[in-house]
Structure 1
Amino acid sequence: MHEMTDRRQMGEQYGSTARLETRRSVWGPGPEGVSPVDVLRTLVVSSRASRIIEIGCGTGAFARSVLEEAPGVDYVATDLSPAMVAATRALGVTAEVAPADDLPFDDGSFDGGVAAWMLYHVPDLDGTVRELRRVLRDGGTLHVATNGREHLADLLREAGGEPLVTQFMSENAAEVLGRHFAHVSRRDVETRATFADHEAARGYLATFSPELADALPTFEGPRTYAGRTAVLSAH
């Protein structure tokens, strides 16, 4: 199963915030007791960047959480979806509609960047990473989160599908970033997705594959599945 990178399909998927909220709502910490969102936020805040750009900001929840810990940061969020930008602005975060591979900012405008669970979507992966490198000053750091091949793989297999294969996964993320940045570090974080019942799991699958949702065998009671994520920093 492959992740979409077509902008028209992306517009359909993220034209509103509902699908994204459904996907986020099921996730919790794994065996380490930490979530990749917390790991990512800690890296961003501890970098002490004064001006940060985030691409694919979604609902703005991550941006807002960074600003709550580092209120003095000049944080600029971008997304291709007007609905996501509106949701982000509603949280008091500066946001604008912009394609990730053609950002309306000068070279070296930022000293920090964020791309959280979105680089597997972009039509031009290397072009997008190159664009992020362009708007970062020398010495600036890009913080990234993405999922691995076995992320929710057990649930996908139960529905008759296969593990989700994307262009930017835990397994190749460091290699991709290394083509544009001299230094890349990575931390793997295992998470857990908990579904209250079959209908909840079916609803989750329906946000990206109605066919898999319909094919998921009925089960009783709650179920928990492992998720696998990597958080990387590149400079």
Structure 2
Amino acid sequence: MPEMRDMSQMTDRSTTDRQYASTDRLETRRSVWGPGPEGVSPTDLLRANVVSSGFGRILEIGCGTGQFARSVVDEAPTVDYLATDLSPAMVEATRALGVPAQVAAADDLPFSDDAFDGAVAAWMLYHVPDLDGTLREVRRVLRDGGTLHVATNGREHLGELLREAGGEPLVTQFMSENAAEVLGRHFEHVTQRDVETRATFVDHDAACAYLATFSPELARSLPHFEGPRSYAGRTAVLTAR
């Protein structure tokens, strides 16, 4: 299972370029997720944290399809929100939702020092080739007292499904288990909340379609099952000041 075991695949530029050349894969992955036993959505928690901070100007790095950015702007219409992504397709999708967006590399942001009151990095820091360099860059463009809001997955995220397909859980450079320590190298105060989520697949074909977005080999290896199935996800939402 090379796509999952080799962590370098998560940060390799050519691999991520292929993954996010269009919005299709990301939309397929997003569509299956819902709250876990606590009824808490990490996306809702992340948005609540951002909105409650009362930021004036917010930068999002790795904005994906722009759904999160749009939800923040809907809840806080006066916010000055700028979304960025390395993928032109993601930037185009975000702009189509009415959110200002531009192509930019997270580790080389085209903004002046102290330009933003807050920043968002949602499910993307495991992709950047230079994690500490990216965090230094985010810290540079944040004003003193600015806050970075982050979401990432844990070591056992979808572990049961991956093992059923003959693989292993994905170990990345930035997980629930080490995120606070990594952020603590660049920010003085870090808080974390762990959230269990659920991925629900209506049938075997839906589960295979999900796996195929990042590993066709796993999709082919998943044993057949009848009816719907649900699998646990592990996510963390963090704030760093």
TM-score interval, normalised by the smaller of the two chains: over 0.9
Residue 155 of structure 2, aligned match among 129, 149, 152: 149
Give the aligned partner of residue 183 of structure 2: 177
- Tell me how far 1:4 sits from its aligned partner: 1.3
- Tell me how far 1:22 sits from its aligned partner: 0.1
Counterpart residue type for residue 198 of structure 2? R
Residue correspondences, number? 235
Give the aligned partner of residue 65 of structure 2: 59
List gaps (5 residues or longer) in structure 1. Answer: none
Give the aligned partner of residue 164 of structure 1: 170
- Tell me how far 1:7 sits from its aligned partner: 1.1
SS in 2 for 1:4: helix
Give the aligned partner of residue 47 of structure 1: 53
- Tell me how far 1:215 sits from its aligned partner: 0.5
Give the aligned partner of residue 130 of structure 1: 136
- Tell me how far 1:8 sits from its aligned partner: 1.0
Give the aligned partner of residue 97 of structure 1: 103
Counterpart residue type for residue 119 of structure 1? L
Provide the aligned C-alpha RMSD in A: 0.6
CA displacement 1:95-137 (0-9 Å, x = unmatched): 0000000000000000110000000000000000111000000
Q: Please give the alpha-carbon distance, in whole angstroms, between the structure 2 residues aligned to 1:227 and 1:10.
A: 22
Residue 227 of structure 1, aligned match among 223, 226, 233: 233
Q: Please give the alpha-carbon distance, in whole angstroms, between the structure 2 residues aligned to 1:194 and 1:214.
A: 19
Counterpart residue type for residue 174 of structure 1? A
Residue identity (%)? 80
CA displacement 1:23-55 (0-9 Å, x = unmatched): 000000001111100000000000000000000
List gaps (5 residues or longer) in structure 2. Answer: none
CA displacement 1:180-230 (0-9 Å, x = unmatched): 000000000100000000000000000001111110000110000000100
Q: Please give the alpha-carbon distance, in whole angstroms, between the structure 2 residues aligned to 1:66 and 1:202.
A: 32
SS in 1 for 2:121: strand
Q: Please give the alpha-carbon distance, in whole angstroms, between the structure 2 residues aligned to 1:217 and 1:32.
A: 30
- Tell me how far 1:92 sits from its aligned partner: 0.6
Q: Please give the alpha-carbon distance, in whole angstroms, between the structure 1 residues aligned to 2:199 and 2:148.
A: 27
- Tell me how far 1:164 sits from its aligned partner: 0.6
State the TM-score, normalized to the length of structure 1.
0.99
Q: Please give the alpha-carbon distance, in whole angstroms, between the structure 2 residues aligned to 1:10 and 1:149.
A: 20
